Amino acid sequence: MKRITIAALGITLIAGALLQSGQAEAGARSYGYMDMKSNRTFVPIRYLSEQLKYDVNWDPKTKGIEISKGEDKVSFTLGQKKAKVNDTVKEMDAVPFKEGGTTYVPIRFVSEAMKLQLEWDKAGSALVFQNGQDAHKLPVISTTRKISASTPIKQKHQSFNIGSKRLSATIVEIDLLHPNIRLGVGIAKGKTGAVDSLKHMATVNGAKVAINGTFFDAYTKSSVKVPYGYIVNNGKMVHQSSGDKRAAIIFTKDNQVEIISGEEFPERFEEGGVYGGLQAGPRLVTNGKVTVNPVKEGFKDPKIVTSGGARSAVGITKDHKLILMTTSSATIPQLANAMKQAGAYQAMNLDGGASSGLYYNGKYLTSPGREISNALLVYRGK
């Protein structure tokens, strides 16, 4: 993953011990807020303690804050600009404050005092803390972004003007930062090579939302319909790829989602943390720009390279929402433009044609014309 070192960010990081729900293990989910107005960065002292394993002490009488690790120590006083780094008094450009029972300190000052590296992952809209050999990656959202307790999943129909064409699409949008949302992969009848209806895959897995996944050998006369590309389910590689360049979607247990090339997939999987993954392609949108090159990814079939047809796509917005889209007739470039207009910052194509299907809340929004090999699933807990 390409990372760009940052000198300053306007981010107010709030570490939330948010529990995952559904069928996966519960786990903490953290995220940050970007405050463009103040252009200041603050982090809760609880985050420094729990995630970065710093020694943090809070004195309610003096309102003093002490953060230390090894020989490095920084001391603050709530509401005051003066701080002490080891035995040297320094002045900050932002003051520690307390809000909603949580105490915040300026992260830029802390990072310099504690030799903590900060990096910005542009593709993932996330802040990366490099603490020795350990990297802690936090999604970042704007202060205007609200995580709704009642509507983490939204469904809509939308039309897009693309050149002279008006393209109609069905969309389901999922808030990846919501504590009750979890992602998964559905495998037809629990084994690679089998096929099943998208609705049944969703139902037996208890998923709220499902969209068709990878390409597969749909036209063979054999009872075994081999899927194409990498498939990871519950942290295990259940199907290997031939090593081609086709785009893939991967995600962690705490809903950190990325779209990567097939060339990157083996290394990313070996690094650990990949809970689910599906390879399909081609790539549609990269960092907010349409980037369609199916031939470069190894596609030769006119159905992908030149022709129009029923399509399915998955995308990620800059503020960490998942976009699932189906449309009845589009070329790959038209699909890419539609995904960009829908707000996708990263996006890729999924299997299409008769495989294209979208399921939500007990019914089809788009009905597939055949049984399929696998699916991307979304669970919503209570």
Distance CA 260, CA 137 (A): 17
| 177 torsion bin: left (phi>0), alpha (psi -120 to 50), beta (else) | alpha
DSSP state of 87: T
pLDDT at 31: 67
What is the average per-residue pLDDT within 125-134?
76
Angle (nearest 5°) at CA 198 between 193 and 203: 110
- Domain boundary assignment for the chain: 4-142, 153-380
Closest by CA position to 275, among listed 175, 203, 176: 176
Domain 4-142: which CATH number of 3.30.457.10, 3.30.310.50, 1.10.20.60, 3.20.10.10? 3.30.457.10
Using pLDDT thresholds of 50, 70 and 90, give the confidence band for residue 6. Answer: very low
DSSP state of 193: T
Which tokens go with 89?
Answer: 């008094």
For residue range 221-261, what is the model confidence (pLDDT) as tens digits?
999 999 999 999 999 999 998 888 999 999 999 899 999 99
Distance CA 183, CA 186 (A): 10
For residue range 186-208, what is the model confidence (pLDDT) as tens digits?
999 999 999 999 999 999 999 99
Provide the 10 A C-beta neighbour count for residue 62.
Answer: 9
Distance CA 284, CA 291 (A): 5
pLDDT at 22: 34
More confident residue, 162 or 137: 162
pLDDT at 297: 96
pLDDT at 250: 98
- Whether the link from the prior residue into 282 is cis, omega within 30° of 0, is yes
- pTM of the full predicted structure? 0.82
What pairing do the DSSP bridges indicate for beta strands 31-34 and 134-142?
parallel
Provide the 10 A C-beta neighbour count for residue 78.
Answer: 18
Mean pLDDT of the chain: 87
More confident residue, 293 or 49: 293
For residue range 54-74, what is the model confidence (pLDDT) as tens digits?
999 999 999 999 999 988 999
Distance CA 247, CA 347 (A): 9
Closest by CA position to 202, among listed 350, 84, 366: 366
pLDDT at 3: 37
pLDDT at 374: 98
Do 157 and 168 touch, CB atoms closer than 8 A? yes
pLDDT at 20: 29
In three-state secondary structure terms, 61 is coil
**Listed range (35-44, 240-249, 319-328) with the worst mean pLDDT:** 35-44
Using pLDDT thresholds of 50, 70 and 90, give the confidence band for residue 143. Answer: low
Q: Does residue 378 surpass a pLDDT of 80? A: yes
Which tokens go with 16?
Answer: 């939330």
Q: Does residue 88 surpass a pLDDT of 90? A: yes
Distance CA 230, CA 239 (A): 5
Give 44's contacts (C-beta < 8 A, 6+ positions apart): 13, 14, 15, 102, 103, 104
> What is the distance of C-alpha 5 from the center of its chain?
20
For residue range 261-320, what is the model confidence (pLDDT) as tens digits?
999 999 999 989 999 999 999 999 999 999 999 999 999 999 999 999 999 999 999 999
pLDDT at 30: 59
What is the average per-residue pLDDT within 172-177?
95
Do 170 and 327 touch, CB atoms closer than 8 A? yes
